[in-house]
Chain A
Amino acid sequence: QKEVEQDPGPLSVPEGAIVSLNCTYSNSAFQYFMWYRQYSRKGPELLMYTYSSGNKEDGRFTAQVDKSSKYISLFIRDSQPSDSATYLCAMRGGSYIPTFGRGTSLIVHP
């Protein structure tokens, strides 16, 4: 079992939809959770960074962490074609080196 599991997609949604992206993990020591967005031929860009369980909101994006279920989510409201990208989850415990998911490809069509 991989430490971090993420469905590669692609996930295709119409413009304006609410998008839910998810990762599961097996290492209970993970405490810091991140979501990155990566456009084609670009480096990953940090979207959300959370510590421990709970929700964090930033504009149209909401990150949710459920440590009891070892499950994290990223919600995108009112999705736009410009949100089309690959979304990577990442997480770490005491080490400063994160473990990344393989990324989910999101396509938002007009």
Chain B
Amino acid sequence: SQTIHQWPATLVQPVGSPLSLECTVEGTSNPNLYWYRQAAGRGLQLLFYSVGIGQISSEVPQNLSASRPQDRQFILSSKKLLLSDSGFYLCALTGTDSNQPQHFGDGTRLSIL
């Protein structure tokens, strides 16, 4: 079965510091991968998605970036964090059949101080 690993589970960072969040998946090949941010009371905001290695689509212009160096690895980064980057970051996938629904990892809760 498909499994999504995200780490760390919780992260506290100062404003202006860099960020790297990693998502790795198991149990599937060539998945579509997604990064979402969930802010309290604001629902899920799609940040990036990737249909293959090196292929990234950005949904929201901001100081975050994403990379997909390997088929089952998706990384969310920032060079300088802002207070507004606080939130719950979720990685999701759909398998090779894109008609199937998304499955989510357990997320990283990011607090910016």
Contact = CB atoms under 8 A, between A and B. Distances in A.
A45 interface: yes
Classify the secondary structure of A's interface with B: loop
Contacts, number: 46
Given A97-B46, A97-B49, A102-B43, A90 B109 contact: no
Contact count band on B = 20 to 34
A98 B93 CA distance: 12
Interface in B33-51: 34, 41-44, 46, 49
A32 interface: yes
Contacts of B46: 97
Contact of A42 (B99, B102, B107): B107
Contacts of B102: 46, 90, 98
Contacts of B99: 32, 96
Given A88-B44, A102-B42, A103-B43, A96 B94 contact: yes
Q: Main SS of chain B's interface residues?
A: strand
B102 to A, nearest CB: 7
Contacts of A8: 41
Contacts of A25: none
Max count, chain B CB within 10 A of own CB: residue among A8, A44, A45, A102: A44
A32 B109 CA distance: 29
Contacts of A97: 34, 46, 49
A14 B94 CA distance: 36
A41 to B, nearest CB: 7
Interface of B: 4, 6, 32, 34, 41-44, 46, 49, 90, 92, 94, 98-107, 109
